[in-house]
Amino acid sequence: MADGRVLAVAGAKGGVGKTTTAVNLGVALAEAGETVAIVEMDLAMANIVDFLQFEPERTLHDVLSGTVTTTKALYAVDDRLHVLPAGTELADFNAINVAALAPVVRSLRPAYDWIILDTAAGVSPETIYPLRLSDEVIIVSTPRVASVRDAKKTIELADRVNGTVGGVVLVRAGTGQAPPPERLAGFLETDLLGSVPNDPTVAEAQDRSQPVSTYDPDSPAAEAYQRIADNLILSAPDSGDDGDEQVLGTGGVSDLQNAEKIAESAADADPDNLDGSTRPLEGDELDTGEADDDDGGFEFVKRKGDSQ
């Protein structure tokens, strides 16, 4: 690639597996021959050092405060995978300039095929800003109702800040009474990039500060992350393709070069979103209990007390 592709791994709910996904996708992409930089953007509660075995002396906090260059804060996990960690001390948080995130990301583009932004949970400037800096936002969610609901909110948030949602990765799939990943992606109205099964190997790997893709490459979770990485590589736009056809988009994960035109077309088609097609009605929630029809236990229900 002439210019690295920036992916923001996001999800408003904490503990759904954003860092696990960012790290393992980075490892899988590197193992496929790509060069990757992972930037930890949880500036208040950094923990990527718990997933990888290294002790950083310089961090993203130092870069944002202007005391070191980006290059000096990058750590090589292997030849093709580098990590820019955030600081683990809360005191560092006060010294940062969030606006400096843009030139940091911009400086990494020429050096790597992929730049993965591991975002924080919640809604704050340091969680919203990466959505705007990325080429695509990858939503991470478990199949639990609260997580899926927050994933829906994250998609709406990305839309409001002009971010492009590339799709969703469902982790810990196949647990509880949840609908299958394809149906959950349909509810979220986005592409399913892949699903990662509920695999105890993931926790075993994290206890040893290793990515599951390295700890046990043949585990179901590692193989799932590799499939997702392969799909990302195959769907990446070809920067050398100067075809004459002005295609606005294929509905896949790589509608990047014409993202603004696609957004404008969508806005022209439904400028006020009057039909509610991309946002649930206020007061609606997801219920994974038994449904009365053939929805397979997947439906919207009104909260008690809401008018019918």
- The Cα–Cα gap between 100 and 77 comes to 25
Quick check: 106 and 63 in contact, CB under 8 A?
Answer: no
The Cα 11–Cα 29 span in angstroms is: 21
Q: What's the pLDDT score for residue 66?
A: 80
Compute CA distances 117 → 143, 159, 182, 253, 275, whole Å.
23, 17, 25, 17, 33
Taking the chain (308 residues) in consecutive chunks of 10 residues, what is each chunk's mean pLDDT? 83 81 94 93 68 78 84 90 77 59 89 92 74 91 89 88 90 79 91 92 88 91 94 76 37 38 40 35 41 39 41
Counting every residue written for the chain, the total comes to 308
According to the model, what pLDDT value does residue 119 have? 86
Question: What is the per-residue pLDDT for 47?
Answer: 65
Relative to beta strand 192-197, strand 165-173 is parallel
Contact 306, 290 (CB under 8 A): no
Amino acid 46: pLDDT? 58
- pLDDT, residue 45, reads 64
Distance from the Cα of residue 119 to its chain's centroid: 8
**pTM of this prediction exceeds 0.85:** no
What was the pLDDT predicted at 15? 74
- Give the burial string for 267-292 (b: 16+ CB within 10 Å, else e): eeeeeeeeeeeeebeeebebebeeee
* Topology annotation, domain 5-238: Rossmann fold (3.40.50)
**What is the pLDDT at residue 100?**
76
Closest CA to 99 of 71, 68, 126: 126
Angle of CA points 242, 111, 211, to nearest 5°: 110
Q: Count other C-beta atoms under 10 Å from residue 194's C-beta.
A: 24
- Residue for token digits 């790589």? 254
At 167, the amino acid letter reads G
